[in-house]
Amino acid sequence: MAISTFDISEQSNALLVELTQKTGRSPSDVIEQALVAYRRQVFFEEMNAGYEALRADASAWAEHESERVKFDAAMADGLES
């Protein structure tokens, strides 16, 4: 496991200490979970921006909707839920 050191603000350090005390997790675990959550947030922000751009192009959005209808039909495969 690689060990890195970096400076954080006093406010961030206080928050880190608070979270380690509340959760009983190590500082590195808290930071790792925060990074995973932030990566997820960035992913969805990028995805939403992509859909927004797609919706702005009427032709591209119509094509997307047409494909969605085709894939929705594939779900009706006769299998019980």
Residue whose C-alpha is closest to residue 29's, from 37, 20, 38: 20
**With 70 as the cut, is the pLDDT of residue 74 above it?**
no
Higher pLDDT, 32 or 2: 32
Nearest 10 degrees: Cα torsion 43, 45, 46, 50: 130
Instruction: Give me the mean pLDDT over the 1-8 stretch.
Output: 87
